[in-house]
A = this chain, B = another copy of it.
Amino acid sequence: MMFVRLLRRDTVVQGIELYIAVIPVSIAIAIGLALYLIWRITRMDPGTEKMKQIHKAIRQGSHAYLKRQYKVVLAILSLITVVLYFLIDYTHNLGVPYVALSFMMGTVSSLLAGYVSMEAATRANVMAANAARRSQTKPLSIAFQGGLVLGITVVAMSLLGVAGLFYLYWAANGWRNVEKIPELIMGYGFGASLAALFAQLGGGIYTKAADVGADLVGKIEAGIPEDDPRNPATVADNVGDNVGDCAGRGADLFESISAENIGSMIIGGGLFMATQNMFFLLYPIIARAIGLIATIFGAMAVRPKENEAPIASLRKGLIVSTILIAIALYFATTQMLGPHSELLYYASLTGLIAAIAIEVVTEYYTGEHKPVKEIAEAARTGPATNIHIGLSVGMEATALPIILVLIALAASYVLGTQYGQLTGIDPHTGGVYGTVTATIGMLSLTGIILAMDGYGPIADNTGGIIEMSGVEEVSSETLDALDAAGNTTKALAKGFAMGSAAMAALLLFQAYVDIVKIDIFNLIMPSTLIGLIVGAMIPFLFSSQAIKAVGRAAQKMIDEVRRQFREIPGILEGKNPPDYAKCVEISTMAAQKEMIAPSLIILVSPIITGLLLGPIAAGAFLIGVTASGIMLAFTQNTAGAAWDNAKKILEKIGEKGSEQHKATVVGDTVGDPMKDTAGPSIHVVLKLVNNVAIVFGALFLLYALYLVP
């Protein structure tokens, strides 16, 4: 109320209460809906005793992992909180430890969002499995609802955190320097991105160690099928789907939108000062809130029908949401940002269009189209040629999405400069705000994309539970259709996550520029060049360590599965159950141990660059990481998904077991840590390095050694 009064005094826009009110309303609707969906799912019938048992094992495994992960993460993050307090809040006499506090809030919110999503996913899986015994459409509905909990919780929690912190600091400090708030709460984005790296990298190591271990010993050595209950690693494999795809991607996108919100507000702060229109500051969070509501309505369009492919139903949800978001953004933008703001609306559309276009390109490269067919065909001459073509497809797939992102960036910048010229704002500032609105447009899709993405691991689990519990009423067509849709939505979500990470990283770079107040990063100076090239090296070093981590963790899993096959009598005849918990524990411990070193590289390298070479080199470092990171992530994500689907194509035409199929299994396994560990973790890396630089930028300005001019 006080807040609202303040705004009315300071701004030219009428009815601002209405806009601000959208934020708490949207959060309330979203969290209410999420809780309702969880409650409704929980009340369903989980099926046979065997199903309940398996389900319990998966839930226990997921909880065990989260508990362990949260312990490690909270320990590390508490340490960092203390460091931040002394290095930044204390030395800068900020009074209230804004940065340390918001950092802590960011990590806790991210962990909480992950927890809620996992709860929904690990409940929905068994309900969908049981529903599949009687209906073709019901399991799809349940899995999508589980995914929707992930999508809206992540967006709502991020909004709650950013808007809440904004409100709290404003409440404590009054309206003076309100435009400085985003800079003070930048720790939130940093905390969220560090939690996201642990979630994505740890989850990625977990899931692929279990997957590779289960496949190499179970499928290849012992010759038992996927998800066979005799395989000791099979529960860990299903847990992995949840912790890697569900919690990991959730944390990744939680971070994208949090970072984007704060970065946008940092940049908007400057425009607010210039125009006295406070909406430049608040537009990012209000637009996010409106997008959240549009997403909830869009999700209602997912109404599975008999004789319709599941992916078609899901796609309807995406299309309707996109249209609703485009309409909502039109009203929000033109109402809030004053005359000529339709230019900024067009800028936001470029982001939305780029996101959809990236989805189409991703689908082309990873779906059943020419590239994947060529990979399958190349397997005729063995695994090596299969891998050649897969790698080649992965590298080729960088071109179009990058060009789409860059076109959105260019077009939105140009629209923003025109807006600036028409309204008397500095054209470059206007241009940067144009790119901000493009990023907002793109990220408005986060909720619905995450809902579709969350569907994937739930559908995987559904299949797993049905296989493991020996339920036979479910037709293999129903299962295959569920599974195929999940693979597609996962690939789409990764394409989106990558595109939005690129946009978010470039936006964060602009926020960094604002914070260090340097306006020339000149490539002909050696320190700039050195920073950039070191930055370009980091994603390679990181990927290398991530893949090796999966290799080491998988080796432990392989040894354990072999040991159980050897030592537990009658295990392969199904007489004695395997020790699932032991495998879950191995994956859990390995993930915790292996995620530390690669994360440290990412955390420390921007700080070292900044302190040795200065803030300009650090800025160039960020661009280097972004430029090479985008390519490496697209390459790894696409190649991995394409290899996977090349294998599936052969299975569909009954080639399972042939030499050609075996060659594609090698390709699929090669791609596993690329597409589910290294690739998606790079999305987080892009944003994390920027967040680190934003938080430590002030220190670079004070203490840099400037070893090279």
Contacts and interface: CB of A to CB of B under 8 A. Distances in A.
A600 to B, nearest CB: 14
Interface string A673-709: 1000000000000000000000000000000000111
A contacts with B: majority SS:
helix
A406 B551 contact: no
Given A391-B547, A392-B547, A413-B708, A528 B523 contact: yes
A666 B382 contact: yes
Contact of A409 (B521, B530, B666): B530
Contacts of A627: 532-533, 535-536, 624, 627-628
B392 A532 contact: no
Interface stretch (A330-338, A394-402, A471-479): A394-402
Interface residues of A, number: 81
Interface stretch (A279-287, A448-456, A537-545): A537-545
A520 B519 contact: no
Nearest to A542: B395
A266 interface: no
Contacts of A506: 529
Copies of this chain, tallied across the complex: 2
A156 to B, nearest CB: 32
A387 B388 contact: no
Contacts of A402: 533-534, 537
Given A413-B709, A544-B393, A666-B384, A524 B530 contact: no
Contacts of A543: 392, 395
A623 interface: yes
B628 A410 contact: no
A58 interface: no
A571 interface: no
Given A383-B383, A536-B627, A708 B410 contact: yes
Given A389-B551, A431-B709, 14 more contacts: A383-B666, A384-B666, A387-B670, A389-B548, A392-B545, A395-B547, A398-B537, A403-B534, A409-B526, A409-B530, A410-B526, A435-B526, A520-B524, A521-B522
Interface of A: 212, 216, 220, 378, 381-385, 387-389, 391-396, 398-399, 402-403, 406, 409-410, 413-414, 417, 427-428, 431, 435, 506, 510, 513, 519-524, 526-530, 532-537, 540-541, 543-545, 547-548, 550-551, 554-555, 558, 619-620, 623-624, 626-628, 630-631, 635, 666, 669-670, 673, 707-709
23 contacts: A212-B384, A382-B666, A385-B551, A387-B670, A388-B548, A395-B540, A395-B541, A395-B547, A398-B537, A398-B540, A399-B537, A399-B540, A409-B529, A410-B707, A427-B709, A431-B526, A435-B526, A506-B529, A521-B522, A523-B528, A523-B619, A536-B536, A536-B630
